Structure 1
Amino acid sequence: MKTIKFMVVAMIFSFVATTQAQTAEEIIANYFENTGGLDAWNSLEALKFEGAVKVQGMELPMTMVQTKEGKQMTMAEFQGMKFYQGVFDGETMWNTNQMTMAAEKSDAETTANAKLEMNDFADPFLNYLDKGYTVELVGKETVEGTETYKIRLTKEPIMVDGKETPSVGTYYFDTENFVPIVVEQEVSSGPMKGMVSQTKLSDYQEVEGIYFPMSITAGAKGQPGGQEIMIKSIEINPEVTDDMFAFPEKQ
């Protein structure tokens, strides 16, 4: 009789634990609910971020613009000069060469990969099923003292040296607030190839009903330093013109 009672109690606790367990889909749903709601996120047409990039003890003024069409632009100022990085008008991606200060178009492969990310505005998890992305709850992990849900996001493969390469990111969601605080992804090309990039997100603040991280630090996992970006203001659905993203043909 005691054995039967024990089994019944064990079954009850097992059932309670199962019903309380979170799935990847529920965690993502909670994320959007806690940060403004899907309707608010889907109403976004463009975002403009004003802030500063910390470089060697200096704070360089920075502006970022992103649109629902996939256009983007990042511009930093230093000693009266403007440096553009990752500018994309939907067809052409370009940057400022920091040695010559001339605008240079990216290679075909980089541009093709940028086109794959055009539907990631304003968050890669937004309507992820419609994009054909998959999510997987890997488990729980404590990150810098915070308990998190570890979720793997798999997107469309990207091209690296002419070969299709998986595009997989790992997101660590705070179990209390259901917001990502760390994003990791293996670097597939360039000097950091084979290393894991790590982006830390913190200081979430409300802007017109939607919560955004106002502090972003990007670098290599396990390595000191990293580039810190401080967001000072965010404009929802600002006026955007095509010339903001256009490659300057005449220099």
Structure 2
Amino acid sequence: MKSVKLAILGAALLGGISSYAQTADEVVDKHIEAIGGKENWRKVKSVVSEGLISFQGIDINVVVTAVHNTGSRQDLTIMGQSNYVIMTPTEGWMYMPVQGKTTVEPMTEEQVKKGADELDTQGALVDYKAKGHAVEYLGKEDVEGTECHKVKMVLKGGKETTYFIDPASYLLLKSTSKQSINGQEFEMTTSYSNYQKLPEGISIPMTVNIPLGGPGMNADMVLSKVEINKTVSPEVFKPAK
């Protein structure tokens, strides 16, 4: 009788674990469907977006150019000065004269390693298992009055991000991740809104509240233009000589 009870208990535990894992997959699948579906996102090979960040009375013009698993470049025009950040799978560079840095500086090996996970223009949740990532369902949590599904993703490179997904629309409302600044670890929050459907069938947030540094230093980036699968020259991901 004892062995039968143990068998029943084991089956119940396994069933609970299976159900829990399935819930994470269900939420992820419904989210991807809500933003256009896997097939449309798998076709995204490049994204070029333009927008404006307003922070403490300063307007920052932003152009972000990304090619799937190849490179990303952020061009920032701040107070008339041109700055840029380039990241590739093996190298990265920063040119930030607005910070008094008038020469191109290479990224550290650790920065390149962390940045490599951000080169996926199709989104980490699309085909996440095939990419070597993992997800875990953490229940629900209130986000400004909405009881959101809470899903934690651990990227192949080790970075952890928690997504908060609206249970009605299955759109992503917020994400959090930890970032080290001057030896201290802080939780950074990004919020997403004003989703618009592009001609390619995918939906993206046109307003993103992004962290700009330490805790509480967030600003809205409002996108004005997004181009999908535009031809991008490899030279874009090389620093100016």
Q: TM-score range by the shorter chain?
A: 0.7 to 0.9
Superposed CA offset, 1:112-147 (max 9, x none): 3323444x3221101101012111110011111122
The secondary structure found in structure 1 opposite 2:185 is coil
Superposed CA offset, 1:26-55 (max 9, x none): 111111111111111000110001101112
Q: CA shift at 1:77, angstroms?
A: 1.0
TM-score (norm 1): 0.80
The secondary structure found in structure 2 opposite 1:182 is strand
Conserved 8 A contact 1:70-1:121: no
2:108 & 2:75 partners in 1: Cα distance? 20
Structure 1 position 183 matched with structure 2 position 175: yes
Q: CA shift at 1:192, angstroms?
A: 6.9
The secondary structure found in structure 1 opposite 2:129 is coil
Runs (4+) of structure 1 moved beyond 6 Å? Answer: none
Q: Output the amino acid matched with 1:179.
A: L
1:33 & 1:114 partners in 2: Cα distance? 27
Q: Output the amino acid matched with 2:60.
A: L
1:211 & 1:127 partners in 2: Cα distance? 17
Superposed CA offset, 1:139-186 (max 9, x none): 0111111220000111124xxxxxxxx421111001111111111112
1:62-211 to 2 correspondence within 5 Å?
Answer: 62-85=62-85, 87-97=86-96, 98-118=99-119, 120-157=120-157, 166-187=158-179, 189-191=180-182, 193-208=184-199, 209-211=201-203
Range that drifts further, 41-50 or 73-82:
73-82
Aligned positions, number:
218
1:64 & 1:27 partners in 2: Cα distance? 29
The secondary structure found in structure 1 opposite 2:184 is coil
Conserved 8 A contact 2:59-2:78: no
Conserved 8 A contact 2:47-2:65: yes
1:224 & 1:185 partners in 2: Cα distance? 14
Q: Percent identity?
A: 24
Superposed CA offset, 1:191-235 (max 9, x none): 373211111111111111210011111239x95441321111100
Conserved 8 A contact 1:46-1:68: yes
Q: Output the amino acid matched with 2:171.
A: V
Q: Output the amino acid matched with 2:185.
A: G
- CA 116–219 in structure 1, closer or farther in 2 if over 3 Å, else same: closer
1:68 & 1:113 partners in 2: Cα distance? 16
Unaligned runs of 5+ in 1: 1-18, 158-165
TM-score (norm 2): 0.83
Conserved 8 A contact 1:202-1:216: yes
